[in-house]
Amino acid sequence: MVKVDESSPLSGYRVLDLAGPLAFHCVKLLADMGADVVKLEPPDGDQARRIPPFKGDLPHPEKSLYFLHYNTNKRGITLSLDSRDGQAIFLELARSADVVVETFRPGRMDELGLGYSVLNTGNPGLIMASITPFGQTGPWRDYKATDIAGLALSNLMILAGEPGEPPLQAPGEVAYGMASTYGAFGVAIALYHRLSTGRGQHIDVSMHECGAHIAGYFIPQYGSSGVKPSRASRKGEETDLYDPYETKNGYVRIFIIPVEQWRRLVDWMGRPEAIAGPAFEKMEYRRKHPEVVHSVVADFCRRHTKEELYEEGQRRRISVTPINTVREFMESAHTKARRIFIEMEHPVVGKYLHYGPVPRLSETPGRVTRTAPLIGEHNEEIYCGELGFSKEDLLALTGADVI
């Protein structure tokens, strides 16, 4: 049996992981907070093992850094849910599980005989989180969608960028992350509810809805007034030092609102004649003459490094924000002081730095204690050690492509 770390907030809870990329972050959060997560992969491995980047740029199912990031703290087994034997084994696993997280198209689990109504019959306390692009109901329920579709259809992308110019896409997998975070929150609430009722429930998470829900004031503004939210311009009369400024080694952003900050900035720059007059102390005036302001500030910033501007800005109580690269984020004094990254060693990839758990709980902190599993690494541990199969059973199941 797996050793339970009673100091972790989700220790003692078993999660069966059937998640694709849409819910990778959800299960990662649960695993980092101490849940015993068992990742189920097809016999030839999860498709995410084929997603780059790869260690050494060599495509290999055990060297995907994408897969490595999302699957620490998990045990891994192989199982084909398309076979009757595989479905029977999953039902057995689900009887002792607390949570199932899945991202199949709506109705697929029912077709396999593994829908929530079936799993709940064998385990009334089971919680299933189904995270899909558009939810379990509605005319779009069967549509597929990637991260960019989640941003576009939820109205987040239309609000990014300059007025009159094409919308901008956020980097990374923001829509997937939002759906996953809501999914993890739903699991936590359902586990809390189960403490008093003993009953599990089915959680329906729509990436489309999560994106719109987190969009701040845009939805309520339109809902209450019918006024379509517009992008805030970062050019011309509507701006005041919002754009990034180039430095000797990158970019910074300077943010000025109170007149006292403007005066301190002008003093710092040596009171350039072009902007030192009292008229420029008024934000409205600066907005009417952006080319003058931007020219002086840009010339000043190009003479310094990001670090110099940040440190002196802090001393002068002026908001100067360096725009960090990945390396600068990882190597910053603040990041190192908070020990965000943990040194791990994977049997194939070798040593690497892995992001530690977030958020940080003072009494029951999350931990990263194991790297992502190899394909089928824990088959014997779980099938023989927990379900009572013999090694001969495992050989037979392997030969039949069940595991």
Q: Which structural domains are found in the chain, ordered by start?
A: 14-216+338-399 (3.40.50.10540), 236-323 (3.30.1540.10)
Contact 250, 306 (CB under 8 A): yes
Sign for the pseudo-dihedral over CA of 336, 342, 343, 348: negative
Q: What is the C-alpha to C-alpha distance for residues 29 and 367, in angstroms, rounded to an integer? A: 10
Gyration radius (Cα) of the chain, Å: 26
The two structure tokens encoding residue 308: 């110099």
Q: What would the pLDDT profile of 108-117 be if each residue is shown by its tens digit?
A: 999 999 999 9
pTM: predicted TM-score of the whole model, two decimal places: 0.89
Residues 6+ apart with CB under 8 A from 176: 21, 22, 23, 24, 25, 147, 150, 207
Q: Using DSSP, state whether 75 is helix, strand or coil.
A: strand
Opening angle at CA 73, ends 68 and 78, nearest 5: 75
> Per-residue pLDDT for 31 more than 50?
yes
Helix (H) / strand (E) containing 380: none
Q: What is the pLDDT of residues 327-386, one digit of tens each?
A: 999 999 999 999 999 999 999 999 999 999 999 999 999 999 999 999 999 999 999 999
pLDDT at 104 over 90: yes
Measured distance CA(390)–CA(403) in Å, rounded: 14
Tens of pLDDT, residue by residue over 226-255, are 877 777 666 555 556 767 899 999 999 998
pLDDT at residue 295 tops 90:
yes
For residue 306, the one-letter residue type is K
Phi/psi region, residue 170 (left: phi>0; alpha: psi -120 to 50; beta: rest), is beta
- pLDDT value of position 214: 85
Cα separation, 131 vs 175, in Å, equals 12
- Strands 36-41, 14-18: pairing is parallel
Is residue 1 predicted with pLDDT exceeding 50? Answer: no
